Structure 1
Amino acid sequence: MIDRSRGAALIADTGRGNEAAILNAALEAFGNSGFNGASMRDVARGAGTSLSNLYNYFPSKSRLLAEVLRHANAELYARVVRAVEDAGDAASPRMRDAVRAYVGFVVDHQVAMLVSASEVRYLQGPDRERLVAERDDTQSLIEQIVAQGVESGEFRTPYPADAARSILSLCAAIATWYRPDGRLSRGQLAEQHARYALALVEAPLPRHD
């Protein structure tokens, strides 16, 4: 069972009825019980709504999972894009800030990251295809930064594609072991992984004061 305190609510209430409450309740149910163990009744109970009303929003448990993961991917991608856009034109600061943003998302939404990694296998057809495409957007952004750095000479790695995949895996894996009461603060964790990422692409590291 996942500690409910590990991460903020993923979906903000935008005034569209019970949808946000339902999706956040679904995330909690999937985090605690897995896709197979969670029931639509559990989700309805967690959202404070009726089972019939839940089905008015989502016709199946797989649609609920798909929508939860869509929100997670969208929020992660938006954070990374904003960070990269604010970082300027050079590859090193873009990579550093992209990784900081990714790590911040993992810390803020640890349960969503765990569910995304463990329960995606239950999605099929168009829902799975759409999710994979959305995940590829984030991967593509990191790959583009690595390619930019290699072309400009900022990054010296002879393995740009592998380095990009390793950076993404390194960040995503935080969800499996992170604890809010651990020895590193949120900022320290983000900075440490930014340095790991720059080391993977063989960039000159900033001085550690």
Structure 2
Amino acid sequence: MNSRSAAAALISETGRGTKAAILNAALAAFGEKGFNGASTRDVAAGAGTSLSNLYNYFPSKSHLLAELLQRANDELLNRTSTAVQAAGDDPADRMREAVKAYVGFVVDHQTAALVAISEIRYLHGEHRERVVRARDSTQAIFGEIISEGVAQGRFTTPYPDGAARNIVSMCSAISTWYRAGGRLSRKALAEQHARYALALLETRD
């Protein structure tokens, strides 16, 4: 996986030494070395700037990681919300499009998706709370669709409370194994996981 290109796709690049360049470099460094393994010096070098300039924008690595995860979730939330709104009223259609949007995000921003699930453990206090709230807002979209589907008899799962968490986890886990150019195309991967989700929900035709 090319971490640097994945980072550039998530955050608009506006020049060396800028906030965007620093975030791009941080995402590439965290994707390659992990939060503990990457240093602020690595990030500054990747952004083509000095440590002092980096600290003008971000006083610590935790601030960098928190903003990266917030931005990643904002993009994921926007994609998912837009897809669901365009899907119509049927809960099964809404779930199908929500899953496809999530999978598309993971394929497009694999480094960000992987960092989000593997490095959040290093955030604490307000930083962690803010990121968890953002993540929960995305999961809530899936939870609302499931509640609607169960109420309408469209989904017959006896475990609606855990279903949203498991569907989101299934989608995010793609970041740990996906390889561009593999057996499944982006479209096929998204369709396959949408079917998994609907099967988990015991969807009634």
How high is the TM-score relative to the length of structure 2? 0.94
Aligned length in residues: 204
Which residue matches 2:185?
Answer: 185
* Structure 1 segment 142-157 matched on structure 2, within 5 A: 142-157=142-157
* Structure 1 segment 20-35 matched on structure 2, within 5 A: 20-35=20-35
Which residue matches 2:94?
Answer: 94
Which residue matches 1:4?
Answer: 3
1:77 aligns with 2:84: no
User: Which ranges of structure 2 fall in alignment gaps of 5 or more residues?
Assistant: none
Which residue matches 1:133?
Answer: 133
2: CA distance, partners of 1:128 / 1:79:
23
1:60 aligns with 2:96: no
CA distance 1:14–1:141, change in 2 (3 Å): farther
CA distance 1:92–1:14, change in 2 (3 Å): farther
Q: Bigger shift: 155-164 or 59-68?
A: 155-164
Runs of 4+ in 1 over 6 A off after TM superposition: none
Cα deviations by residue, 1:52-97 (Å, 9 ceiling, x for unpaired): 1111111111100111111111111111000001111110110000
Cα pair 2:4 2:24 within 8 Å, conserved: no
User: Which AA in structure 2 matches 1:155?
Assistant: F
Identity of aligned residues (%): 65
How big is the shift at 1:203? 1.0
1: CA distance, partners of 2:167 / 2:195:
11
Cα pair 1:198 1:204 within 8 Å, conserved: no
2: CA distance, partners of 1:119 / 1:171:
17
How big is the shift at 1:110? 0.8
Which residue matches 1:172?
Answer: 172
How high is the TM-score relative to the length of structure 1? 0.92
2: CA distance, partners of 1:69 / 1:4:
15
1:202 aligns with 2:202: yes
Cα deviations by residue, 1:18-57 (Å, 9 ceiling, x for unpaired): 1111101100001111111111111111111121111111
2: CA distance, partners of 1:111 / 1:47:
17
Cα pair 2:4 2:28 within 8 Å, conserved: no
2: CA distance, partners of 1:73 / 1:48:
26
Cα pair 1:95 1:145 within 8 Å, conserved: yes
2: CA distance, partners of 1:87 / 1:25:
36
2: CA distance, partners of 1:45 / 1:183:
36
2: CA distance, partners of 1:89 / 1:14:
40
How big is the shift at 1:178? 0.4
3-state SS of paired residue (1:9): helix
Name the one with the larger helix percent.
2
How big is the shift at 1:172? 0.8
1: CA distance, partners of 2:152 / 2:102:
24
User: Which AA in structure 2 matches 1:198?
Assistant: L
